[in-house]
Amino acid sequence: MPQTCTLVLLIASASLQDCASAHECQGAECEAAGTFFLQHALDVGAASLLQHAAEKKGPRDGLVSDFFAALADMRARPYNATVQSQGCSKLYVDSSSKEMQDAAAKTGVIDVIAAAQANHPDSREVQVVCTTAMITHILFNRDNGLYAGRLGALNHTLAAFKRWMDDPIPTVSLLGGAIGGYFDYVDENRLIARELGGIRDIIQNIWNNYHGKLGDWNVEPVKQSLYALSSGTKFNEDICVEMRCLELYAGLMLEHGHEPKIAEEAMQSLRFLLSTRNPHGEEDRRKFIEAGGPAAVSHVMQVSSLDQGAVDLACITVSYMIGPHNMDGNGELPFDQGIQSKLTEAGLVQTTLGAVMGGQGLQQIDHGGFNFDTDAMYNYKRDCFDALGDLAYDHASNKAVMLAAGLHTHVLERLAEPPKDPLEIIAGCKLLSALGVPGSQACSTLGHVKKLLSR
């Protein structure tokens, strides 16, 4: 009979009373795992940190115990694919809490997940489960995302994506969102994906599932890949245009703009394409206009009128298409009166007005895992004020439509509160100026607000 021992993992919570479930192992394997793991956990105080963070988020019973037991098991048996995939399934944290992400990172969890992927490149299950666990640790967390990328975890995920994305069982084709988590705040990972062909594979996955070889419409693979492109387009604009993303996005918005996240994520990607950061931004802006971009954006505003993310990104896209009528835009291309006229013909004055004037009851959709203030990030009033200012600038008939709708009164009432977001104040005051309406008292301090923001 082989020698058997029981490893009891002590989890040092704030009360120093928690005792985790046991893990059975054999002989020297058990001894090595126990010595390494207990020393690590006690030395860095990681268990206490993670327990504290988890308690603040109200975890289910046993979550922290399962987490540490899985770490020990994976370290003890690194070449057992079943142990690795089952272990990764217990290594999730709440990505909306940076405190929890940082506490978990101190346990070495990112190293363990990356090692599992490196040791099992031919196991689709390990790659899928461990990639989806990793995303919870790195989403909107630069330090963790950069570290995971340096360990080679992204390389293994991209290799698995390329290898299995066309399989009938679409587990791998759904990894786009997890891949996108590597890109947020980490330019270095965007460049890794470029070098390894990952951006091309992500775009091809959308084409395969949208009037492509895998079907006319498979929403989840498309949506997940759009998550990746919403941040992965930066530094990869040329690849996106080469693979016809401009036509792709216009079509997706026209056909599926009513489905949650489709239009929002496509327009996140467009921000990089219709930008001065893109060396071919001016050319690409005109290509998007010719591909039906204005009608597509107008359509989104109508069919997703209660989706705050979609409405906000639609207004941002209007401004990026026209260009700012003032000279302090943030990366936008120059103002173009001809494009302003085309957007007017596409009905964007009316749909943008409707978004601002009738924007009660807007909802945040699928933003629950974000660790920042989503209302501040997706402030549709601010961004739609900017869009309407660009549409009104030096355009008499557009001004008349907006004034007849009472937009100036709406803006004045909004500024009287005043808004917490200083950028909304600036946008509202610029809109009033474009409409030829005297500003509110808040506008009298506009120069001071701009000065503060420039510091």
Spell out the per-residue pLDDT of the chain, length 455, in tens. 333 232 222 222 222 223 233 333 444 444 443 334 333 433 344 555 555 555 554 444 456 889 999 999 999 999 999 999 999 999 999 988 999 999 999 999 999 999 999 999 999 999 999 999 999 999 999 999 999 999 999 999 999 999 999 998 889 999 999 999 999 999 999 999 999 999 999 999 999 999 999 999 999 999 999 999 999 999 999 999 999 999 999 999 999 999 999 999 999 999 999 999 899 999 999 999 999 999 999 999 999 999 999 999 999 999 999 998 775 556 789 999 999 999 999 999 999 999 998 867 878 776 666 766 777 778 899 999 999 999 999 999 999 999 999 999 999 999 998 899 999 999 999 999 999 998 777 787 665 455 544 54
Cβ contact 331:275 at 8 Å: yes
Q: Is the peptide bond before 418 cis (omega within 30 degrees of 0)?
A: yes
Q: With the C-alpha atoms ordered 196, 198, 204, 208, is the resulting torsion angle positive or negative?
A: positive
Rg (CA), the chain: 25
C-alpha–C-alpha distance, residues 262 and 58, integer Å:
31
Cβ contact 388:402 at 8 Å: yes
Residue 307 DSSP code: B
End-to-end Cα distance, the chain: 71
Question: Of 446, 445, 441, 387, whose CA–CA distance to 417 is shortest?
Answer: 441
Structure tokens at 451: 């000065």
pLDDT at 10: 25
Give the CA distances from residue 32 to residues 107, 320, 438, in Å, rounded to whole numbers and listed in that order: 17, 58, 75
pLDDT at 368: 64
Give the CA distances from residue 221 to residues 22, 43, 174, 186, 206, in Å, rounded to whole numbers and listed in that order: 39, 42, 5, 23, 7
C-alpha–C-alpha distance, residues 237 and 423, integer Å:
28
pLDDT at 450: 56
* Contacts with 105 (C-beta within 8 Å, 6 or more apart), sequence order: 137, 143, 144, 147
pLDDT at 372: 62
- Cβ atoms within 10 Å of 244's Cβ, excluding its own: 14
pLDDT at 169: 81
Give the CA distances from residue 79 to residues 30, 118, 149, 302, in Å, rounded to whole numbers and listed in that order: 15, 10, 22, 53
Residue ranges of domains in the chain: 295-455
pLDDT at 34: 39
